[in-house]
Copies of this chain bind each other. A is one copy, B any other.
Amino acid sequence: MQNKEQNRTTGVSKAIKVGLFQFEPVFGEIRQNVEHVTDSLANIKADLIVLPELCTTGYQFKSPNEVKFLSEDISSSHAVNEFVKLCKDRNMYMVFGMAEGANGAFFNSALYTGPEGVIGVYKKAHLFFEEKFFFSPGNGGFPIFQQNGVYVGLMICFDWIFPEVARILALKGADIICHPANLVLPYCQQAMITRSIENGVFSLTANRIGEEKRGGKDALKFSGKSQVVDPRGNVLFRLGEEETVKVVEIDPAEARDKKITRHNDLMEDRLPELYGKLTKVSV
């Protein structure tokens, strides 16, 4: 994100390097997981790196007490401190998932950080499976953030299945959707191509890998295959199921051009007057 005075409307910009770090967090070992990230990215050359959902704690909580114990207040979080330090050191931005404690409630959150510190927080709205027992749903909507002329929107994992989320981020002007995930269902990677095409945005899905089997719970197998998709649905890369750091150069300005034919614009052609509020309708 080196281009300082980018013009939002003409979309003139320079290429930036965006990347993903796909790995397997160890459940409950925040310090170990954070150190693994900072070690793995110590020499990274990138402008923006996305990490998986709940990448500091692991995924499969067993009790509310465990959630309470492993959630961190952003202002005093070891993970946030270390990742901001890394952002400063590498002069880059990061999006990562963590268990957030805030005023006695607990959220499955994604943070957007840079050399300047914490820029934005998104608290996951659509909770998956047993997350409903352990986290409060975020009710702050779907925020986007701008740094150096690049507009970044955040969503987390299961949010993908609700087309409204990526739509809202795109309507707000996101060039890049950063999407930390812990995917167990097989649908998402393909669907994120649709999200990129229908909204004309880059999507960066950082999934985790490995299996979690915690006492009394079914084993969960995470599907990896983290990917970067461009605004026309081209998969710039898709990882396998191994730990990998990978970076690719993109031009965020490509997401400003919503024309998919000479006569069709993805956003201008929308007909909100026909869509109503997209609430349940009886016939």
Which of A's residues lie within 8 Å of B, judged by CB? 125-126, 128-130, 132, 137, 139, 141-142, 144, 146, 151, 158, 161-164, 167-168, 171-173, 185, 187, 190-191, 193-195, 197-198, 233, 260-264, 266-267, 269-272, 274-283
Is the beta-carbon distance between B142 and A274 smaller than 8 angstroms?
yes
Is the beta-carbon distance between B260 and A168 smaller than 8 angstroms?
no
A132 to B283, CA, bound (A): 30
Collect the chain B residues with CB atoms within 8 Å of residue A263's CB.
Answer: 128-130, 132
Instruction: Choose among B162, B278, B279 the residue that contacts A164 (Cβ–Cβ < 8 A).
Output: B278
User: Given contacts A187-B197, A187-B233, A278-B275, are A269 and B126 in contact (CB under 8 A)?
Assistant: yes
Collect the chain B residues with CB atoms within 8 Å of residue A275's CB.
Answer: 164, 168, 277-278
Output the nearest chain B residue to A280 by Cβ-Cβ distance.
B171
User: Given contacts A161-B197, A187-B197, A190-B190, are A277 and B270 in contact (CB under 8 A)?
Assistant: no
Is the beta-carbon distance between A198 and B128 smaller than 8 angstroms?
no
User: Given contacts A185-B260, A261-B128, are A141 and B274 in contact (CB under 8 A)?
Assistant: yes
A264 to B133, CA, bound (A): 12
User: Given contacts A129-B261, A146-B283, A260-B185, are A278 and B161 in contact (CB under 8 A)?
Assistant: no
Instruction: Choose among B190, B262, B281 the residue that contacts A129 (Cβ–Cβ < 8 A).
Output: B262
Given A146-B283, A194-B194, 9 more pairs with CB closer than 8 A: A126-B269, A161-B197, A162-B198, A162-B269, A162-B270, A163-B167, A167-B278, A173-B282, A272-B277
Is the beta-carbon distance between B280 and A267 smaller than 8 angstroms?
yes
Is the beta-carbon distance between A198 and B278 smaller than 8 angstroms?
no
Collect the chain B residues with CB atoms within 8 Å of residue A233's CB.
Answer: 187
Collect the chain B residues with CB atoms within 8 Å of residue A280's CB.
Answer: 171, 267
Collect the chain B residues with CB atoms within 8 Å of residue A141's CB.
Answer: 274
Q: Ordered nearest first, which 9 A-B pairs have the shortest CB separation?
A: A163-B163, A194-B194, A191-B194, A164-B275, A272-B279, A172-B281, A129-B261, A129-B263, A172-B283
Distance in Å: Cβ of A254 to nearest Cβ of chain B: 16
Is the beta-carbon distance between B194 and A266 smaller than 8 angstroms?
no
Instruction: Choose among B161, B171, B190, B194 the residue that contacts A281 (Cβ–Cβ < 8 A).
Output: B171
A264 to B168, CA, bound (A): 22
